[in-house]
């Protein structure tokens, strides 16, 4: 795969922008905070990793933002930050592709139909609510703001959406459909998953010393990618894949950033695939289907800096899993594998490299 990462933008519970992500990783932060959540059983306190998009009002026209919901705001902000990181203000309208990956989609909270409280009447929503609920709404708004008339794709393969998005971006560049692609993911905070986490883990016995699972999070990470120009010192995507066969064995010499968050099903598989050094940053960005996008961002930071960063908050509980790096150290290999075991089966992998 011949793809170079020219810029990246991130927003999530850790903050906004690469510097906040880098600081969170370097300092091993666990930024989740407790907030009240209303449920059918009354109010509960749950840890959350929420994204603040206030800065977007200084980067985009207020009229444009007026009818855009939080889901799209996160994605748009990440895209604009990726462009800024790449030093590009106005991409050529017809040569920029957009690929938005999402696990929950914009419907996640739009209609308030998550049964934490009596369900809302789904016949009484507004046209704007409905418009923003359609899965490609974020992609459409991003294209509109950037005036991009290139191909615009939205992918929803739950927690395996990110590798498919990178794979597709690589195909578009290889077939000459576009010169650049803004590719990334976005997911809202899912209240029902926060409730699910509360039910499963809030009553843990005192003798249970295993680290707590990651808080439920939200956010967006986007990457501006282009064809590899043959230059030196570039960070690129060497490979992206996904499938429902058994996950691949990761070469022992390479670092693997695993997408384990401590309560997604199937995480025991990481132990079978990873025999070398592993890192995990889920405590920084939280449990969300497109969390792998943040793993890719962390891998890019590592490759840019030549360092492997300690796992956030000591990592997550992984019975039989790989040993997680607990101290920052020099990066020994030029490749980093980001691996996600799918909650519904399957796996996804994105391999980053320094050229």
Map the footprint of another protein across residues 69-98, applying CB under 8 A: 93-94, 98
Q: Both tokens of residue 73? A: 């705001």
Shortest distance in whole angstroms from residue 291 CB to another protein: 12
Please report whether residue 37 would count as binding another protein according to CB under 8 A.
Answer: no
Output the six-digit token pair for 245: 């066969």
- Of 26, 52, 156, 228, the residue at the interface with another protein (CB under 8 A) is 156
Among 123, 203, 206, 209, the residue binding another protein under the rule CB under 8 A is 123
Binding another protein (rule: CB under 8 A), the pick from 53, 133, 302, 311 is 133
How far, CA to CA in Å, does 108 sit from each of 261, 262, 285, 344? 20, 22, 18, 18
Rule CB under 8 A: which of 225-254 touch another protein? 241-245
Whether 47 and 191 have beta carbons less than 8 Å apart is answered as no
Name which position in 175, 208, 233, 327 contacts another protein (CB under 8 A).
175
Kindly tell me which residue out of 39, 53, 152, 335 binds another protein, with binding defined by CB under 8 A: 152
**Looking only at residues 247 through 306 of this chain, which bind another protein when binding is defined by CB under 8 A?**
264-265, 289
Q: Which is nearer to another protein, 227 or 334 (CB)?
A: 227
Among positions 153, 194, 278, 297, the unique one binding another protein when judged by CB under 8 A: 153
User: Closest Cα partner for 300 from 349, 238, 236, 241?
Assistant: 236
Sign of the Cα pseudo-torsion (293, 297, 298, 303, in order) = positive
Paired tokens of 238: 């060497």
- Does residue 125 bind another protein (CB under 8 A)? yes
Report if residue 113 touches another protein, rule: CB under 8 A.
Answer: yes
Dig out the tokens for 308 from the structure.
Answer: 């492997």
150 binds another protein (CB under 8 A): yes
Separation CA 191–CA 179 (nearest Å): 39
39 binds another protein (CB under 8 A): no
Kindly calculate the radius of gyration of the chain based on its CA atoms and give it in whole angstroms: 19
164 part of the interface to another protein, by CB under 8 A: yes
Least spacing, CB of residue 226 vs another protein, in Å:
17
Closest CA to 11 of 38, 31, 39, 26: 31
d(CA 245, CA 303): 29
| Residue 313: both structure tokens together | 């908050």
For position 134 contacting another protein by CB under 8 A, the verdict is yes
Residue 140 binds another protein, judged by CB under 8 A:
yes
| Separation of alpha carbons 68 and 59, rounded Å | 14
Query: Binding-site residue total for another protein (CB under 8 A)?
Result: 76
Report the C-alpha gap between 123 and 141 in whole angstroms.
Answer: 25
Separation CA 211–CA 238 (nearest Å) = 33
Shorter beta-carbon distance to another protein: residue 146 or 235:
146
Q: How far is the CB of 301 from another protein (least distance, A)?
A: 27
């Amino acid at each position: 795969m011949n793809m170079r990462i020219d810029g990246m933008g991130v927003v999530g519970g850790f903050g906004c922008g690469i510097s906040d992500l880098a600081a969170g990783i370097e300092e091993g932060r666990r930024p989740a905070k407790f907030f009240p959540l209303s449920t059918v059983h009354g109010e509960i306190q749950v840890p959350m990793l929420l994204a603040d998009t206030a800065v977007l009002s200084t980067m985009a026209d207020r009229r444009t933002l007026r009818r855009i919901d939080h889901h799209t705001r996160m994605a748009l902000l990440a895209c604009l930050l990726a462009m800024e990181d790449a030093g590009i203000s106005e991409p050529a309208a017809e040569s920029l592709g957009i690929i938005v990956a999402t696990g929950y989609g914009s419907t996640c909270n739009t209609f308030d139909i998550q049964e934490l409280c009596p369900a809302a009447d789904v016949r009484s929503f507004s046209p704007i609510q409905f418009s923003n609920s359609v899965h490609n709404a974020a992609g459409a708004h991003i294209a509109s703001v950037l005036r991009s008339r290139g191909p615009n794709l939205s992918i929803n393969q739950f927690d395996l959406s990110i590798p498919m998005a990178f794979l597709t971006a690589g195909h578009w560049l290889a077939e000459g459909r576009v010169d650049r692609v803004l590719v990334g993911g976005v997911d809202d905070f899912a209240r029902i998953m926060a409730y699910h986490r509360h039910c499963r883990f809030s009553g843990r016995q005192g003798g249970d010393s295993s680290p707590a699972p990651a808080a439920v999070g939200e956010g967006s990470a986007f990457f501006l990618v282009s064809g590899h120009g043959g230059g030196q010192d570039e960070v690129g995507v060497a490979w992206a894949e996904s499938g429902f066969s058994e996950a691949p064995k990761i070469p022992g010499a390479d670092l693997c950033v695993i997408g384990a968050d401590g309560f997604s099903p199937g995480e025991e598989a990481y132990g079978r695939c990873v025999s070398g050094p592993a890192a995990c940053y889920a405590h920084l960005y939280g449990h969300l289907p497109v969390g792998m996008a943040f793993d890719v961002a962390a891998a890019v930071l590592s490759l840019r800096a030549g360092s492997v960063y300690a796992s956030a908050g000591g990592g997550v509980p992984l019975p039989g899993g790989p040993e997680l790096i607990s101290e920052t150290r020099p990066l020994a290999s030029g490749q980093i594998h980001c691996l996600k075991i799918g909650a519904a089966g399957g796996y996804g992998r994105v391999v980053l490299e320094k050229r």
